[in-house]
Amino acid sequence: MSIITLENKQFSIDSSNFIYSKCSSRPSKSVVNPENYTKYKSIKETFSFLDGSQDLSFKECIGYIFGAKIKIDKTVYILDNETYKVVNFTDNKFKILTKNLNDKHSNYIIIVNDIYTYPKIQYIYMLSNFFTNVKIVSSQLMSYKLIVCHKRITNLDFEIKDNYIKDFDIKVDELLVKYIKDDNDTFLENTINMNQVVNSMCKSLSQISNLNRETYTINKYYKAFINKECSTYCNCKINSIFYSNLFECYICENCLILTRVFP
Ligand SMILES: [Zn+2]
């Protein structure tokens, strides 16, 4: 889990310096290792051990910062007694997103599946000018992040003429860029490794049944983890413990405790 908090900032934003582009930006070297990104993109079907992973990841991430959660409908939640509007940001369309963030609500949760481009980081950084604080919350298992914008102070007053932006002409704090890059690289490396393990496990039927067992247990674990239901009262009998090749750890199928044994 990682949570990065950006407190309110007061830097100047000059819309006349924005540089536009015809399409969505390509991943930036400063934000993701390009070699791993290419490898990751070449995986035809990334192995996912989670079903309904979008909803689960949302639940996981809001669970890190909010206590009381009430879902009003698909886009409105009451979290710790404050109303939040949920906005999807999947296609880099900054103009639409900005319009959404200026509506009648004052708290927002932006869903981003990845932060691989520099303009995206610039934009998130810019948001800290208009909100009391902005939190970037990452899932532990998926390439899934929430940008939680708390209490808008003023309307987003910069002008975006077109959807795709190449550069907002904002210098982002280097530590933040490094943090996001580390997070991106870790996720890509894990996904690439996991894909290799899955491929090598699919060579015999008995290994496929192991994979099924792992998938089933990890699913169960993730759901229990999110719902804070991992039981701690268990004797962990030897026949309920198995080694997960995917997670490189031992899992007790009964209480779902993960144990990493270091050599
Ligand atoms: Zn156990």
Burial 148-180 (b: 16+ CB within 10 A, else e): bbbebeeebebebeebbbbebebebeeebbeeb
The alpha carbon of 225 and the centre of ligand 1 are apart by a number of angstroms equal to: 14
Instruction: Give the span between the Cα atoms of 78 and 181, in whole angstroms.
Output: 31
Q: How far is the CA of 216 from the centre of ligand 1 (A)?
A: 16
Cα 63 to ligand 1 centroid, rounded to whole Å: 24
| 251 or 92, greater pLDDT | 251
Instruction: Kindly give the distance from the C-alpha atom of residue 240 to the centroid of ligand 1, in angstroms, as a whole number.
Output: 7
pLDDT at 114 over 60: yes
Cα 230 to ligand 1 centre (Å)? 10
Tell how far the Cα of 185 is from the centroid of ligand 1, in angstroms. Answer: 32
**Least confident segment among 43-47, 202-206, 253-257:** 43-47
Q: Which position has the higher pLDDT, 249 or 132?
A: 132
Distance CA 251, CA 215 (A): 12
CA of 217 to the centre of ligand 1 (A): 13
Q: Phi then psi for 151, rounded to 5 degrees? A: 50, 95
- Predicted local distance difference test score (pLDDT) of residue 263: 42
Q: Is residue 170 predicted with pLDDT exceeding 50?
A: yes
Q: Ligand 1 center to residue 214 CA distance, Å?
A: 15
Ligand 1 centroid–CA 122 distance in Å is 45
Compute the distance between CA of residue 210 and CA of residue 168 in angstroms, rounded to an integer: 49
- Quote the percentage of the chain above a pLDDT of 90: 52
Between the CA of 218 and the centroid of ligand 1 the distance, in Å, is: 14
Largest CA distance in the chain: 66
Cα 29 to middle of ligand 1, angstroms: 43
Q: Determine the distance separating the centroid of ligand 1 and the alpha carbon of 235, expressed in angstroms.
A: 5
Distance in Å, CA 237 to ligand 1 centroid: 7
pLDDT at 205 over 90: no
- Alpha carbon of 198 to ligand 1 centroid (Å): 25
> Rounded to the nearest whole angstrom, what is the distance from the C-alpha of residue 255 to the centroid of ligand 1?
4
| Residue 253 alpha carbon to ligand 1 centre in Å | 7
pTM of the model: 0.85
Q: Which of 21-30, 73-82, 193-202 has the highest mean pLDDT?
A: 73-82
> Which residue would you say has higher pLDDT here, 236 or 263?
236
Report how far ligand 1's centroid is from the alpha carbon of 219 (Å): 16
State the pLDDT confidence band at 224, using cuts at 50, 70 and 90.
confident
Structural tokens at position 126: 């810019």
Ligand 1 centroid – CA 181 distance (Å): 36
